[in-house]
Amino acid sequence: MARRSLSKLRDSLDQVETQSGGDRDLPLTSICLPAQQPRRYFDPEKLEQLTLSVKEHGILEPVLVRPVEGKPDQYELVAGERRYRAAQQLKLTEIPVVIRHLSDTEALQLALVENLQREDLNPVEETEGILQLLSIQLNRAVSDLPPLLHRLQHERKKSANNVVGNSEIEAIESVFTGLGLMSWESFVNHRLPLLNLPDNVLEALRQGKLAYTKAQTISRVKDETQRQVLLQSAIKEDLSLSQIRERIKALQPEADKTSPKATVESLSRRVIQAKLWEDPKKWKQAQALLIKLEALISEE
């Protein structure tokens, strides 16, 4: 399976972006979307803004397409899906394109790199995109990557020579250097934990409805019903992080809110206020409990 370095992929995208007008204009009906799309969510407001811009100024940058094998005059979109969707909304008949002959792997890599270069990328899209890119470069399943990255990080911490010469480490570092977003160690520490978020919280984060720190806090609510109600409130009411924490605190049972020290102090006050010694029967029971408590305290 052919793989290209990220620097070459980025150069290819830069050439497309600077190629004014494109190779030619293609009918929108001649362009199809790829079966494997790295981007699953498009912010409706931002897409509407782009549509208005295209309506006023036209499509300033061509989209990247590749010929569909066995289907003459049919092309698959590789990069530029937002522009393609804006053209569809405006019911344009044609769109400027740059045509490249690319393998399936090269096309997916280019689509991933373009997606990861977006300024409005949210943490979930970023994490999933990087994992897909690593999957191609390392020729491994995406599901194999989190445990692999954790293992390599553990080995690096233990190894005196920083596991220099490990081909997988070198390939991973090459991907992160090429992207210029973060180190792979930072990715392991701060991005992979995202994958453990509950599905409903993860989807809200993917759609840009929730900040990462708020998503992490809401995910700590174990009860699914309570978590869903809190999630909806956080989105609808635009709750701050401190407000979310207050609501979580209100959900906790009273016993969880009271520290052991506070419990003992409260019980001592109640015993004194009750004046159990004035009732011989109750005082006898209390003495038996006090003897057990004193014995417990005396244990080493």
For 175-184, the pLDDT digits (tens) are 888 888 889 9
Q: What is the mean pLDDT of the chain?
A: 84
| Distance separating alpha carbons of residues 72 and 267, to the nearest angstrom | 84
pLDDT value, residue 296 = 82
DSSP state of 181: S
What confidence category does residue 289 fall into, taking pLDDT thresholds of 50, 70 and 90?
Answer: confident
Q: What is the percent of the chain with per-residue pLDDT over 90, rounded to a whole number?
A: 37
pLDDT higher than threshold 60 for residue 256: no
| Distance separating alpha carbons of residues 114 and 15, to the nearest angstrom | 12
Q: Are strands 75-79 and 31-32 parallel, antiparallel or unpaired?
A: parallel
Task: Report the pLDDT averaged over residues 186-201.
Answer: 91
pLDDT higher than threshold 90 for residue 297: no
Task: Report the pLDDT averaged over residues 50-77.
Answer: 91
Determine the Cα angle at 1 with ends 11 and 195, to 5°.
Answer: 80
Question: Which residue did the predictor score with more confidence, 177 or 10?
Answer: 177
Rounded to 10 degrees, what is the CA torsion of 189, 191, 197, 202?
Answer: 170
pLDDT higher than threshold 60 for residue 164: no
What confidence category does residue 255 fall into, taking pLDDT thresholds of 50, 70 and 90?
Answer: very low
Q: Are strands 94-99 and 63-67 parallel, antiparallel or unpaired?
A: parallel
Question: Which residue did the predictor score with more confidence, 160 or 103?
Answer: 103
pLDDT higher than threshold 50 for residue 80: yes
Question: In the chain, what's the furthest Cα-to-Cα distance?
Answer: 101
Helix, coil or strand: residue 98: strand
Encoded tokens for 61: 């940058």
Q: How are the residues of the chain apportioned to helix, strand and coil, as percentages rounded to the nearest 5? A: 65, 5, 30
pLDDT value, residue 1 = 37
CB-based contact 63:83 (threshold 8 Å) = yes
Q: Which residues of 67-93 are buried (b: 16+ CB within 10 A; e: fewer)?
A: eeeeeeeebbbbbbbbbbbbbeeeebe
pLDDT value, residue 227 = 93
Encoded tokens for 32: 């199809």
pLDDT value, residue 2 = 41
What confidence category does residue 76 fall into, taking pLDDT thresholds of 50, 70 and 90?
Answer: very high
pLDDT higher than threshold 80 for residue 87: yes
| Distance separating alpha carbons of residues 86 and 91, to the nearest angstrom | 9
pLDDT value, residue 122 = 80
Encoded tokens for 187: 């990715």
Beta strands in the chain, from DSSP E residues, in sequence order: 24-27, 31-32, 63-67, 75-79, 94-99
CB contact set of 63 (below 8 Å; sequence gap of 6+): 22, 31, 77, 78, 79, 80, 81, 83, 84, 95, 96, 97, 98
CA dist list (Å): 105 to 3, 4, 101, 135, 178 = 7, 9, 12, 11, 17
Question: Which residues share a beta bridge with 65?
Answer: 77, 99
Task: Report the pLDDT averaged over residues 234-242.
Answer: 93
pLDDT value, residue 6 = 55
Question: Which residues share a beta bridge with 31?
Answer: 75
- The reported pTM is 0.65
| Distance separating alpha carbons of residues 10 and 181, to the nearest angstrom | 14
